[in-house]
Chains A and B, each alone.
Chain A
Amino acid sequence: MALILKIAWRNIQRHRGKSLVVGIIIFLGAMTMTIGNGVIAGMDRGLKENVIDRFTGDVVIISAKQDQDNVIFTPMGRDIEVIPGYEKVKKVLEGKKFIDRFLPVAKGLTIILNENGDMSYALALGVRFDEYRKMFSDSTDLVEGTLLKNDDRGILVSTGNRKRFFEEQNFWVIPEGFSFNEKNFMKESSKKSGVIDKRTSLVLMGGSNENSTMDIRVDVKGVMKFKHLDDFWNHFNIMDIESFREVYQYVTASDTAAVIPKEKKRILEKDNLDDLFGGEVLEKVETRKQGYDVSTLMGKKVVQKKLDVDSGAYNLIFVKLGKGADAEESVLELNAAFKSSGAEARAIIWRDAVGQIADLSAIMRGATRGFVFLIFIVAIIIIMNTLSMAALERVSEIGMMRAVGAHKSFISGMFLSEMTVISIIFGCAGIIAGIVSVYILNAINITTENRILELLFGGSVFRPVLGIFDILKGFAYLALVTLIATAYPLRVARRITPLDAIMRD
């Protein structure tokens, strides 16, 4: 072995040019690979922090009747099925030790109505807000107003939706009891001048194709911004679960009877949308020419049909798993438990629930992996070619070694040692350079507001990360590159016979 290493080391020095070419390729390959691994790991961590920890949890429970798993961003805001018998599902979830906590929510598309017939759309999450904050404590920043409390009726409007409402319907949402914040308006709005309608409440109608819906007026309690991946999540407003259920009619027949008083029923009999905005519907503000009185409009109903869902209706349950629990195994176990307990629910992995985000993220990750793989292949081809040429240039030397009694294994050992020494020196340097680059990239604090880059970054800040496992993976890849790149030249060298050397002479 000492002899092989001695010859290998001296050959590296003798063929400095080729060794340097191979070394530089390995260095660059190892560095790119390490940075790529850092980006992918950062993306994974970012998605975990920004999707799992702040929006969906690891597992999402949906109705067993729900045909498509993509429940968060359903195409055209399509309804998702209500989970029947929530109590039964809840019991199953409470009995699983691998679950850290869970949050039932109602999710749907709401139509934002206006007196002039204009309308906008926004997704809404109906939650008990204190529970929501316990589950996703670090997901939102309050921009204006106040947060909801469990017993509050009201809605938190996202800055993204506030901007959309303004662009589509020309009114600017401000929280009830708060004054117009010009600074935020200038920052968020694309239209900086003209008349500004200000509204402290929204008239919402459930945007369901299948169920009956009700339109109600809901006070805006606050304006909030999602801390991360806001471009994706800002389609959602967050409202109290009771208001959501009213909008979507997630109530039993008896509940319906209880919640609709006589005077409202009289209005319902008219079944006239114009009544909703008749008279003094909207608040008068100094920038408007027209004003409305909204005080009498809460709870008016446009269409009423009876639904067969219970009063505890939810259509999603976000589940966070305890430390070390595997999401896929948990899904299997939960589905088995639902089946055996007769609960009409189904557990899915978060990435299935978020559909497009996971798909786009998978594409970005795939592209990054593809790039790293391409580097890997190019490096292998160049190294393989260079080493094969080196082997053919050394026919006399190798043939002579074979003639005086060197076995093929000796030649293999010599070639592998040369390549291993080069790989260790330049590859390790490349990995170290990659680690340093990752730290520098973190320190630079690169931010983006581009949706695609946000997915690549796993959030709005580029945070590549390298754990010990990623670094070890880098070394494993390096060893693999070395082996693959050496395999063909090794074959060439092993095939050199003493006769080849003599014939060349």
Chain B
Amino acid sequence: MNIIEMKSIKKDYPLGETVVHALRGIDLDVEEGGFISIIGPSGSGKTTLLNIIGCIDIPSAGSVKIGGEEITSLDDRRLTNIRLFKVGFIFQTFNLIPVLNLLENVEFPLLLMKEGGLTKGEIRKRAQKCIEEVGLGSFMDHRPAELSGGQRQRVAIARALVTKPQIVLADEPTANLDSETGATILSLMKHLNETEKTTFVFSTHDSDVLKYASQVIKIRDGHIIDIDGPGAAKKMKKKAGPAKRGTR
């Protein structure tokens, strides 16, 4: 089943008197449970693509369905709800709430889910479990400023996963980390992908990251120029079928 369906996606940004065409017509389908890597040079449109999938940005043209729901016509409130209930985010620069400690940061999206039906105790329990899974069980009452970059990124992963989203989007999650920490983070994401069956879509510049991906989408100048991947990639491509080269 496709968790993401994108058809003829275009995204233009006006820049003074000119228009920057960030995406020039993207068709992409992603099956549930995938571990998808989007690669490409700077300015190729990776982040824009992720932002549209994550309902952070809306396309100038085309159709996007997340979990079968068309998002291009939704208002801010419903887009926010999709981000809250269906999507988890891991940002390049960690982006934790500085005034909350590690445990509170992870609890944060659960506390926003008023209709989640969880009690305070259940919320705490689930957050603690996620933190332990990312190996930070002994840092729960630390503030973000007291953690290293790798630790903060792991908190961001825990926060992205705590709501059990259908999709986790990660924009260059290892860009600000040393290679060893980056590898640890990727291993963790892959492990969660395999155990929780969560779909991961991440952008990267890092060629080491590719070995973890079940599918690699190469993007340049706003077009998908290739879909490939080591091992499972071909199988994924075949299975993922609709994921195809850029249409233009």
Contact = CB atoms under 8 A, between A and B. Distances in A.
Contacts, number: 76
B220 interface: no
A403 interface: yes
Contacts of A408: 76, 80
Contact of A405 (B51, B81, B99): B81
A505 B93 contact: yes
B47 A402 contact: no
A410 B47 contact: no
B201 to A, nearest CB: 15
B56 A7 contact: no
A498 interface: yes
Contact of B80 (A11, A396, A402, A501): A402
Nearest to A4: B111
Contacts of A405: 80-81, 83-85, 109, 112-113, 163
A497 interface: yes
Nearest to A410: B112
B211 to A, nearest CB: 27
Nearest to B96: A400
A11 B143 CA distance: 13
A227 B162 CA distance: 79
Interface string B80-102: 11011100110111011111100
B150 to A, nearest CB: 18
Q: State which size class the interface on B falls in.
A: 20 to 34
Given A499-B51, A505-B92, A10 B56 contact: no
A11 B47 CA distance: 30
Contacts of A3: 108, 111
Interface in A2-24: 3, 6-7, 10-11, 13-14
Nearest to A406: B112
A404 B108 contact: yes
A14 B145 CA distance: 12
Nearest to B50: A502
Given A404-B89, A405-B112, A396 B99 contact: no
Nearest to A403: B89
Interface residues of A, number: 26
A3 B108 CA distance: 8
Contacts of B159: 404
Interface string B105-125: 000110111000000000000
A400 B97 contact: yes
Contact of B109 (A399, A404, A407, A498): A404
Given A405-B80, A408-B76, A499 B112 contact: no
B77 interface: yes
Contacts of B108: 3, 401, 404
Given A14-B99, A397-B98, A502-B47, A404 B57 contact: no
B222 interface: no
Contacts of B228: none
A10 B85 contact: no
Contacts of A401: 97, 108
A14 B77 CA distance: 29
Nearest to A398: B97
Nearest to B107: A3
Contacts of A505: 91-93, 95
A15 to B, nearest CB: 10
A401 B96 CA distance: 9
B148 to A, nearest CB: 18
B182 interface: no
Contacts of A399: 95
B56 A502 contact: yes
Interface string A382-416: 00000000000000110111111111101000000
A502 B98 contact: no
Nearest to B80: A407
Nearest to A404: B109
Given A396-B95, A404-B89, A406-B112, A502 B80 contact: no
A498 B84 contact: no
A495 B172 CA distance: 26
B171 interface: yes
A306 B80 CA distance: 93
B99 A404 contact: no
Nearest to B77: A407
B54 interface: yes
A396 B96 CA distance: 9
A404 B100 CA distance: 15
A14 B98 contact: yes
Interface in A490-505: 497-499, 501-502, 505
Given A14-B98, A397-B97, A404 B84 contact: yes
Contacts of B80: 402, 405-408
A402 B76 CA distance: 10
Nearest to A2: B111
Contacts of B163: 405
Interface of B: 47, 51, 54, 56-57, 76-77, 80-81, 83-85, 88-89, 91-93, 95-100, 104, 108-109, 111-113, 159-160, 163, 171
20 contacts: A6-B100, A7-B100, A13-B99, A400-B91, A400-B96, A400-B97, A403-B54, A403-B89, A403-B91, A404-B84, A404-B112, A405-B81, A405-B112, A406-B80, A407-B77, A407-B112, A408-B76, A499-B56, A499-B57, A505-B95
